[in-house]
Amino acid sequence: MTDPATVQALLLAWYDRHHRIMPWRVSPADRAAGVQADPYRVWLSEVMLQQTTVAAVRDYFHRFTARWPDVAALAAAEDAEVMAEWAGLGYYARARNLLKCARAVATDHGGRFPDTREGLLSLPGVGPYTAAAVASIAFDRAETVVDGNVERVMARLFQVEEPLPGAKPVLVAHAARLTPAERSGDYAQAVMDLGATICTPRNPACAICPLSAECAARAAGVQAELPRKTQKPAKPQREGVLWIALRPDGAVLLEERPQSGLLGGMAGFPTSGWDGSTAPAPLKADWQRVGEVRHTFTHFHLVLEILTAVTEAQPERGTFLPRAAFRPAALPTVMRKGWDLVPRDITGG
């Protein structure tokens, strides 16, 4: 049976030397000197990192914290501005929940995040993982933090043969048994760093792993095969139409999507078909097909036919936005793909 104290000591010693440097993280040396993590930055990073890589998040994090340096500033932000900055990170429900949570902290908690898992769970959009991560990393609470990296480390360390997702309760139980009462924030980040840099999905670097002597899967020679995963069913494909209308003066037709559902609350080009809507074209025009875009969401693949027109007709839905105010970068990724297909002599470059 793996000894928790041994694992904790080995892993924390490794983390002290090899921790990743991240803009939201306090180094082990600084923590030891009494520097505390900023709960706002920890929370923001955790929300951004959900189903997204560290490399993809860094620039977004820098932009967000430069523009909204604390939770009060974010709570006071305009919804559209936050959604525009979020564009490209995907899963726009997270951005809506981000604002709800910031406003709850500012209004109901005096601008201070609750310092316990239970208190954090009371905030809008904060689930069990995020609550445990913020409580542990920001407040050094002895909470068990389990993401995909931690699942992989636990599956190999204890040679858990049951495939995911069924094995999750077992992996969480193993992780909980190893979580220390002291330095729990550093420990949580250490396990995640180990999974991200050493105990990787393919070709784990067992020769330099601080836990190699403790690892049951390595002893059995099956470390690269774990964790096993239940085969996922093939994603279905949906199809639809995306209309890009411009006025002769360059104004672009946009509409705000419903708050609930895919890309909820985002401004974008009118669409139909793929999201359950059956709306016709937003105005009468000589629509020209310029191609199609393919995009993959969590649960399905999408193919959109892209139609464009230059017209002075009045729209039946949506509003023409002056070209000077139009920011393609603020569009959801799938709609930016459509915009990129429109000939430059129409869009003006």
Catalytic center residues: 46
Helix (H, G, I), strand (E, B) or coil at 320: strand
Burial of 84 per CB tally in 10 Å (0-12, 13-18, 19+):
middle
Other C-beta atoms closer than 10 Å to the C-beta of 108 total 11
Q: What distance in Å separates the CA atoms of residue 307 and residue 245, rounded to the nearest whole number?
A: 8
Cα separations (Å) of 273 from 276, 277, 315, 335? 6, 5, 19, 15
- Would you tell me the crossing angle of helices 4-18 and 184-197 to the nearest 10 degrees? 70
The values of phi and psi at residue 294, to 5°, are -120, 135
Within 8 A by CB and 6+ apart from 344, the residues are none
Instruction: Choose among 263, 213, 250: nearest CA to 86.
Output: 263
188 with 178: CB under 8 angstroms? no
List the Cα angle 190/191/197 in 5-degree steps: 85
Cα separations (Å) of 71 from 38, 45, 113, 281? 10, 13, 9, 41
The two beta strands, 267-268 and 319-321, are unpaired
Q: What distance in Å separates the CA atoms of residue 260 and residue 342, rounded to the nearest whole number?
A: 29
Q: Which residue has the tokens 């892209």?
A: 306
Report the amino acid identity of residue 317.
R
- Would you tell me the crossing angle of helices 92-108 and 79-86 to the nearest 10 degrees? 140
Continuous segment of H or E residues that includes residue 245: strand 237-246
